[in-house]
Each structure stands twice: as structure tokens, then as C-alpha cells.
Amino acid sequence: MENKDQKRIFIKNSVDKIGKRVKLSGWVDSVRSHGKIIFLDLRDKTGILQLFFSQENKELLDLVKSVKPEWVIEVVGAINKRPAKMINPKIETGDIEMKVENMNILSQAKELPFPIGTDGYKINETKRLKYRYLDLRRARLKKNLEIRHDVMRVIRRFLQEREFVEVETPILTKSTPEGARDFVVPSRLQPGKFYALPQSPQQYKQLLMVAGIERYFQIARCFRDEDPRADRAYGEFTQLDIEMSFVNQQDILELTEKLFIEIIKEIFPNKKIQQYPFPRITYEEAMKKYGTDKPDIRKNKNDKNELAFCYIIDWPLFEKTETKEISSSHHPFTAPKNVDIPLLDKEPMKVRSWQHDLVLNGFEVGGGSIRITDPQVQKQIFKILGHTEEEIKQKFGHLLEAFEYGVPPHGGIAPGIDRFLMVVLGEPNIREVMAFPCIASGKTAVMNAPSELRQKQLNELHLKIKKGK
């Protein structure tokens, strides 16, 4: 097709081109043959447009008879008004069509393993994730990714307007106890030693406060080897990481509240925030009144557009778990309430902390705290958690040393992007708002990872696979 000088436009822009000749490219959404005329619906990222082929061009009509759904084509033709009886009010381009003059088949497609014209909920999820690049063609998932992008755009603008600096922190880092199992990476250059993928940028963001950055943020990838569930993806997830110097807890909560109000106002105008300022509920009150530390405080739980945010504060610094007599409720860098510090040696389970969780409609969508900046208090916390002097030096010595060079008071919060989107979009699980999530067994979508390494790679990494249990 000789149209090299003509530039392609998006389908959504064709509504302003009535009477003009344009070039479009995309996927064939459907084919409708009526003998001497054929209609194709062409789809690109911006919408769908009806294409009209008539017997005026028999060669072109014969060519289009071979076209199947999901083939990729390029067409040139005039944009015309549809006859009144053929207007489709359900789509933005419903009152126009293209009378095609030329068509070029760019690629063919096999029959899809599942339909993409539905919402996809009834299709086996493992199959959907195997062919995720096809699953993402469905309108619902494509829209979810676009909304995700819009949310991140608002986040960046909001924080940049308030003097925050976006800083990337390392992915290859050190294994430290932060609550979940680490993903580890063997070192080729240092045999027998391993990197760990970050469960969060926790220590790096604290070091950035020591560095004088003062206001940091990052849309960070985090990695935790935890069992999957509906509101938690296996392997990796995305969080908005925020850290600020010279602030108290109230400063952090107010900033976070303003951010989410702006996100909802701009991206989800049909949603209604039940109450703001967001209610502050103590951990003790939440457990007594609701029986959970992430209460759903909506007045009308049947209203899908009602958003009830709240903060849970005054958490216990420590908790008892199935495997440990004493463990951090949040993480070991969370500061205890000043008035409770004398209890650390006597009754540590009674110590309250400066932890804060952001809850939305019964889901924890963010957590943070004011951090410990006194090296002696930090060492004391580590010892209560069972770390020896040698372990403290080996695992946390870099942080404690940094605190000896002038550390500002600081704290932050880390809202989970994936979980927030799951809740606000009303999706049944977190994988519906992620591009390529893992399936429940831990395998990655499409790529079929994890996979075995070649023996040469194992040798380079000084690894030997142990067979059996």
C-alpha cells in the first residue's frame, strides 16, 4: 500500500476528521459479512471504529474476505458520517465510519485460546496468566493499567510540588530480618555470599535522611517470599515509598491524607470519601470495637463507590507470633513512644510505638512509622528481638554507624499501589491490577519462571543442586 507519507492517527482522533482521508492501524475486533459489503471493527488503544468495504473495489473486497479477528492491519480511507439508522451511541465513534480505499495486512493471528470481549472473570486464571499478553487486550484490564498509570502520574506531581525528590535505591542489597523470607541472589565474584532483593527500601531511605535529602519518594518494587492470597501477590509488588525529615506522625498522616484525597478527586471522581480528616483509631480501640486492626468502617458496605479511610495508631511495639515469643509488630526500626521507653527492659510487650497504618474499606493499604534515630535505643530493640552483638554489627552496623554522623528525626509511610487499586476498583484480587503477576504456585506469568540453570551457570556461581529433601 503506497501511503508512506501519510502518518497514522489514533482511532479516537478520527471523530474530528470527517470528510478527510486518514491512516489507521490496529487489531481486527470483529468481521461482519453481508455479501457485497463487509464491515470490520478496527481496535487500537484508544477505541473502535467501523470500517466499510464495498464491491466498488473488488480486489480489496476479495482481500478483506480472508481477514480474521485479531489480525493486525493498516487501512487508509475517508471518514464519513454513518447513516442515521446505523449510528451506535454506545461508542465514541458510533456516528462515523471509514470507507476503506487501501488495506495492508501486517500480521495474522491464530484463534485465541479464550475470548477477550468479556470481563474474563469466568475464565480459568492460570490460563489467562499463561497468555497474559492476550488477556491484557480485554477492555477491563487495559483500563486498569491506564488507571494505574494515571494514579502514579498524580502521585509524582503531588510530591514534586512539595519539594520531594524521587530517588532509586538498589535492587541487589543485603539480607536483613524484616518480617518475610528474602529472595536471594548468589554472587559470582564473591563465592558463598549472596545478595537479597529488598523487601522494602527501609534502610536506604533512612540513610537518605542522614544524607540530607529530607524529602524522598520512590515508586518502589519490593520482593517478599510470602504465600499469595487475594490481596497479596506472590514475589513482588509496588509501593509508594515516602520518607521525611524533621516531621512528627501528624505531619505524615496529613500529607498522606491530602495525597489520597487528590488521587480520588482527579482519577475516581465517582467515588465518595466517607469522612475527612480520616479518623484516627487506636489499635486497642480497633480490636475492642471491630475485632480487627484493619476495620471496614463504611456506613453502607453495599455502596461500591463509598471509600472509608482511617488510620490505626498507637500500636504495640512488639507482638507474639506462632514462631516467636517476641517479634516486631511493624519492623525493628519503628520508634517506641518516648514515655514507654523505660518499659523496654521491664515489660516490652506493653511498649507502644509510633507506627501508623492506613486502612481502606477493611484492607491495609499502607503502613509506616516514626523511626528510631538513637543508636542505643536501636541496639536495645535488636537485643530484645534476640540478636547478638555480633549479629547487630554484621546486619545493621552500617545503619548504626551512619547515625553517628548527624541523623535528623524522620519517618514515613509506604502505601501499596497494587492493593489500593484493587480496593478502589472493586477487583476480586490483586492480580487484576498488575500487568504480569505470578500465579498461586509462584510461577511468573508467560515466562514460566523459576527455571533450571545450565550447569555452566551453576559452576560460575559456585552452586551445587542438592537432590531430594
Q: Are 67 and 32 in contact (CB under 8 A)?
A: no
Q: Are 131 and 439 contacting, i.e. CB atoms less than 8 angstroms apart?
A: no
More confident residue, 51 or 329: 51
Q: How confident is the model at residue 278 (pLDDT cuts 50, 70, 90)?
A: very high
Q: How far apart are CA 130 and CA 124, in angstroms?
A: 10
* Contact between 52 and 134 (Cβ < 8 Å): no
Mean pLDDT score across all residues of the chain? 94
- Helix, strand, coil content of the chain in percent (nearest 5): 30, 25, 45
Parallel, antiparallel, or unpaired for β 215-224 and 194-196?
unpaired
As a whole-number percent, the residues of the chain with pLDDT over 70 amount to 98
Spatial CB neighbours of 194, under 8 Å, sequence gap ≥ 6: 175, 184, 185, 186, 187
Query: What are the residue ranges of helices labelled H in 178-248?
Result: 202-210
Cell of 202: 527501609
**Higher local confidence (pLDDT), 187 or 1:** 187
The domain 126-456 is classified under which CATH number: 3.30.930.10, 3.40.50.150, 3.40.50.300, 1.20.58.1030?
3.30.930.10
pLDDT of residue 4: 60
pLDDT at 322: 81
pLDDT tens string 313-329: 999 999 998 888 898 98
Q: Report the pLDDT value the prediction gives residue 194, as an integer from 0 to 100.
A: 94
Residue 210 identity (one-letter amino acid): V
pLDDT in tens, 338-353: 999 999 999 999 999 9
What are the Cα distances from residue 28, in Å, to 20, 69, 97, 128?
Answer: 22, 5, 14, 21
Q: Which three cell numbers stand for residue 250?
A: 501528624
Q: Does domain 11-107 have CATH number 2.40.50.140?
A: yes
Reported confidence tier of residue 177, pLDDT bands at 50, 70, 90: low
Beta bridge partners of 47: 44
Give the Cα-Cα-Cα angle 110, 113, 118 (nearest 5 degrees).
Answer: 115
pLDDT confidence bin for 178, thresholds 50/70/90: low
pTM: 0.93
Annotated domain spans of the chain = 11-107, 126-456
Higher pLDDT, residue 467 or 160: 160
